[in-house]
Amino acid sequence: MPATQSILSPVTDLFKSVRLTVALLLMLAATSILGTVIPQNKHAVDYIQTFGEPLYRIFHILDLTDMYGSWWFVLLIILLTLNITVCTVTRFRTTVKLSFGKGFKGFASLPVQAEAAFERTPQDLEASVQTALSSRFSSTRRVETADGIAFDAEKGRWTRMGADVVHAGILILLAGALVGTLFGFDGAVNVPEGESVDAIILRDTNEKMPLDFSVRCNNFSLSHYDTGSVKEYRSSLTIIEDGREVLTRDIIVNKPLTHNGVTFYQSSYGSMGAKDFSFAFTEKNTGKTVTKPVHIGETISFAPGKTFTFDRYASNHAFNGRSVGEAAIGTLAEGGSSKEVVLLSRFSNFDKMRKGDWVLSIAGHEHAYYTGLQVTYDPGVGLVYTGFLLMIAGCVVAFFTGHKKIRVTLTPAAEGSTVTVSGSAPKNKVWVKRYARQLLSSIQKTMPSMVKVG
């Protein structure tokens, strides 16, 4: 046993070292900063374009492109966990003994905070002192001293546990982070309208991972500002298990859907192509309108000597440097000449600015969209929240509460008694001085004093 202790002692001393704690925290802070400078979990092409191939090779070797899942980051977390655990266990027994063991220790050496003289004997003052202390302290006692009678009071011994609660919160938070890193996943999937998927692509490995259920995109919708730019995009999703619909919900950015711990975030969208376009051709002089369906690449005749070719579709067209939303771009041919025309979905009268006998507009069209979903699963999130709550509670206890001790000594004097108030409140030294004066004042209200409170 002595040999084992001699081997373990240096290891224990190392892991309970505050210097190790500071070093690990600094390394984790530096890692976090580096993680904001170097984008995480991107494709190799993105890193090569941004940093160049030599730097990308270094990033890849050191796992700097996926730092939070790298072996060395996990090692730092484990070392910090061991460090905090050893520190807590080393002092825990003493802390528990001081917090919940036998109290009323060290009262004889408390510093004097205030003093007053009364024209009553110590016996006459006992009841008033006991009443005054009991109004603020739940734990009091009466003791005989060499100088007379003393009353001791204390509260807040349990507040010594504040630091240990913080340590416990940190450990639980770190455990949650490790659980999320080791057993969670982060991926993405594109779901076309009306279709279902039962697998996602993992972000860090680009591997396909099956889900325990299917998710279907019922429909996808866009809303726009008056300028034509996109205001909001929304997906209606349905979760299907064993062929049965179990959950349907609309999601937008920052309002995800969660099922069985798997969360789907609305992250992007895209058009799979516009379809079923129809255009309206209106003659200015007569007001006569001809409506015809036109496919992309198709040319149609809408009047003698006049044709329209639907060249392409733009999901977000720019006009004079401003986004004006969806547009159909085509070629109008008449009288042996041709010109490009831009027709806007949100502004049907846009073509009226063009000189000519006919006004063109989009009569109607449909889109086939897909919704881009970010998919995450973090089984440690509950532990992380619990750890944060414990850390907050521990900090409140550690910084805003504290152990308070008061001793009131009643000493016989030539013409009555001398009342001395001693006390200690390490976290609130102003309070103990103020309370000592208040205590003597409350006694003076019932007992006339000979001298002013000192």
Q: Which helix (H) or strand (E) holds 176?
A: helix 162-183
Encode pLDDT of 298-319 as tens digits. 999 999 999 999 998 887 888 8
The answer, yes or no, to whether residue 4 has pLDDT greater than 70, is no
Q: Is-above-0.85 flag for pTM? A: no
The answer, yes or no, to whether residue 1 has pLDDT greater than 50, is no
The answer, yes or no, to whether residue 199 has pLDDT greater than 80, is yes
CA 328 – CA 301 distance, rounded (Å): 17
Q: How many CA atoms lie within 13 A of 358 on its CB side?
A: 22
CA 203 – CA 40 distance, rounded (Å): 10
Cα 260 to chain center, whole Å?
A: 21
Encode pLDDT of 65-90 as tens digits. 888 878 898 888 889 888 888 888 88
SS3 195: coil
- CA 175 → CA 34, 152, 160, 168, distances in Å? 23, 43, 24, 10
The answer, yes or no, to whether residue 5 has pLDDT greater than 70, is no
Which residues touch 185 (CB under 8 Å, ≥6 apart)? 202, 209, 375, 376, 377
Which residues touch 443 (CB under 8 Å, ≥6 apart)? 116, 118, 125, 128, 129, 132, 419
